[in-house]
Structure 1
Amino acid sequence: MRLLSSLTILSSLWAFASAQGSTPSPTPTTSTSATSTSSSTATATPTTPLISTTVSYDTLYDNKAGSLSSVACSDGSYGLLTKNYTTFGSLPNYPLIGGAFSIAGWNSPNCGSCYELAYTTTGAGNTTTTTRVNILAIDVAVNSFNIALGGLNRLTGGRGVELGRVNVVARQVASSVCGL
């Protein structure tokens, strides 16, 4: 009964967000887990849609001295250089940074947006564990997230290289959650 209630609530939230014109891409999800652990906390508004997608890694984002001039969110009115950040390591959420599906290209208004990514694994006895990280969006990623290996390792318990790409449930949270 509790699962049905949770699914009904999530479906209602998705319908409300869609009616408001904020339907995200990729696709919404209604997945739940029996038990949950979290490596971070983030508060989303009740209308924040959940998005089922994937996350991969690019070691480019692991270079602390990497220049922000090399990513889509460099300069321009929405760029991070204009906010006095110059390198990946200067960002408050480093190494939890990378590309997001919401950034279409240079100077996107979504530059600096923050996403909570939730990765769920199933262990012995069908017990599920969910780990969450908050990713600062600084670059383009097509229909997914592409983040620093350090971020993927935090999400997967150090298995980033081994797994390469994993399924996650994402939701946008306030940029302040990522330190902006």
Structure 2
Amino acid sequence: MFFSLTFFWTAYTVANLLFLVAIWGSKKWPRTTRLFFLLLFGWAAWFNASMALISPSVYQDYADTAIPLYRWFIMGPFVTIIRPMILVIAAGQALIAGSMLLKGELFKLGCWDGLVFGLAIAPLGLYAAFPSTVLMAIAFYRLQKNHDDTYLWETKNEKPGRRTNRKSLSTRHAAS
């Protein structure tokens, strides 16, 4: 592993705590949780794409704590396709991040993609901060159940195309 043990255990603890908060926030503050996932997955997409281009072999370190089937794949077939595989994963992470801005079925699809992603990397074990990835999947599930069907930038009462400004309202009332 290319990080110190102190950094690893700090990051591990923070990741698990963040996703516990995300589970709670998915019900209490779904918009804030959406913003968190937007930023997290946007950063992860950038980081993974950068690392895939600069130093793809670091992804073989995940074999150290992975379940046997994942270890076999990482040390075998994955070796020849590390760069394109990680770039596809980064693209998927970017799409999950982007879906947090949206509403309706695209938002729900992004939540389900995040849920599947979390469960798919859980077998990587400690280096994926297990069980944080399962906690993340739970947070995505709760988030898609508790969303308010708005774009991230909309307020709850605002509907697209139905904005009114105060001046036109007061002009209409004065004319009547």
TM-score by length of 1: 0.28
Higher helix share: 2
TM-score normalized by the length of structure 2: 0.29
Whichever of the two has the greater Rg, that structure is: 2
The structure richer in strand per residue is 1
